[in-house]
Structures are given as structure tokens and as C-alpha cells.
């Protein structure tokens, strides 16, 4: 399908989201992959992952880029050859790409009750304000996970821990935004994060505050 949603947080940043309804074959036909990308696609056991990978290439095209414009560094962080910053995500039937003049991270996740089982792996400071009995507990957990995943992607530093090095300031679902911090090796980095929900999914992105 065409682009599901386009957002422009500021004049230097654009977010595009794709709803994956096409078959693998239909997604593959119009795009050209470099040999390494084709090898990656063919090595994916899940068709959902293959479709997610290809939908990201369609999003790149919507930004005016090709697969050849995208490179990855030794930490697995994607970069664009023209120097702009990029972050990529896909989850089940949605994918998203953000392109910005500044460092940026994005994540999309499906809202699922099972996130509560792993909450102890990524929550520390946030336990102070979260209420496990609240009706929006799973929503808030998913927001926090998406924010921390966005921070992890933009920071792209080996050894960064969700639990030890990131924190998300209290927020309400209605606000759709909050501040988050990375506290790593005696340096604190502040980020403005935005989040929203659609069709049972949560998306969050982070930019320097």
C-alpha cells in the first residue's frame, strides 16, 4: 500500500510509516537490492521479516534514496551516504524510517501483554511512577520500551544498557511526548521523545533536546 503516515517533527526531520499489506513478490519486484541486501533477504527464514526488510526499501524510495544509499557501520547502525541521519524499524505489519539532519532514533512495537514479563529487564527509575494495576500499564510499558530502543539506536554504543544507562521521565499517554536521558560513562545526554499509537502498535522517536 502507499505510505500509511508521514510526520514532520521539525523542518529537518521526517518520519514515514508503511503498512505492510503486499506479498513478498510484490514488494521485491519494483526495487533494486545490492548483492549484500539480497543475500540478507534470502537468508531470512520468516516471510514477515523479508517483507519488513523490503518495505523499508520502499520507504527509502519515498525519501528519494535507493538501497545503495544505505550503509551500516561496525555497530550495525545505518547511515546514509549523503550524511543525513537515519533510523529504521519494523514490527509485524508496520515499518518506519526517520531521516534527519541530526542524530535520531525510532522504534515501532506491537502492544502485547507479554511485555510485562520482561519489564524487569528494562525498567529501573520508571518503577517509581508506573502503576501495575493501571489500565494503561501495558501501553506505558510499550512506550518506554520504544523510547529506550530509539535511544539505543541513536546512541549505537556497545555496552549501553536499557536498565543501567537510560531513563524516561514520567508521562501520560495523552501527552504523546516526554524527556528521556542517557547517562553513560559520566556524561548525561538529554532527548525529546515523541510517541503515538495506531492499530494496536506504538511508535516512538527520539531527537536531541
**Per-residue pLDDT reduced to its tens digit, 123-181:** 999 999 999 999 999 999 999 999 999 999 999 999 999 999 999 999 999 999 999 99
1 — pLDDT class (breaks 50, 70, 90): low
Domain boundaries, the chain: 3-102, 107-208
* CATH 2.30.110 holds for 107-208: no
Common-topology check for domains 3-102 and 107-208: yes
Q: What is the pLDDT of residue 36?
A: 92
CA trace torsion 120, 123, 126, 129 (10° rounding): -20
Residues 6 or more apart in contact with residue 16 via CB below 8 angstroms = 3, 5, 6, 7, 59, 62, 63, 96, 97, 98
Q: What are the pLDDT digits (tens) for 40-71?
A: 999 999 999 999 999 999 999 999 999 999 99
Q: What is the CATH number of domain 3-102?
A: 3.90.470.20
Amino acid at each position: 500500500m502507499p505510505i500509511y503516515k508521514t510526520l514532520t517533527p521539525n523542518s529537518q526531520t521526517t518520519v514515514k510509516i508503511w503498512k505492510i499489506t503486499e506479498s513478498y513478490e510484490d514488494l521485491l519486484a519494483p526495487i533494486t537490492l545490492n548483492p549484500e541486501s539480497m543475500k540478507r533477504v534470502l537468508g531470512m527464514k520468516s516471510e514477515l521479516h523479508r517483507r519488513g526488510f523490503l518495505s523499508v526499501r520502499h520507504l527509502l524510495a519515498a525519501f528519494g534514496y535507493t538501497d545503495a544509499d544505505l550503509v551500516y557501520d561496525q555497530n550495525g547502525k545505518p547511515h546514509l551516504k549523503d550524511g543525513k541521519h537515519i533510523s529504521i524499524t519494523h514490527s509485524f505489519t508496520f515499518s518506519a524510517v526517520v531521516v534527519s539532519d541530526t542524530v535520531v532514533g525510532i522504534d515501532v512495537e506491537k502492544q502485547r501483554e507479554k511485555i510485562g514479563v520482561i519489564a524487569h529487564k528494562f525498567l529501573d527509575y520508571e518503577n517509581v511512577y508506573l502503576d501495575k494495576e493501571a489500565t494503561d500499564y501495558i501501553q506505558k510499558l510499550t512506550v518506554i520500551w520504544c523510547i529506550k530502543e530509539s535511544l539505543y539506536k541513536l546512541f549505537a554504543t556497545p555496552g549501553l544498557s536499557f536498565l543501567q544507562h537510560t531513563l524516561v521521565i514520567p508521562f501520560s499517554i495523552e501527552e504523546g511526548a516526554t524527556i528521556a536521558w542517557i547517562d553513560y560513562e559520566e556524561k548525561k545526554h538529554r532527548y525529546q521523545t515523541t510517541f503515538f499509537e495506531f492499530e494496536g502498535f506504538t511508535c516512538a522517536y527520539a531527537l536531541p533536546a
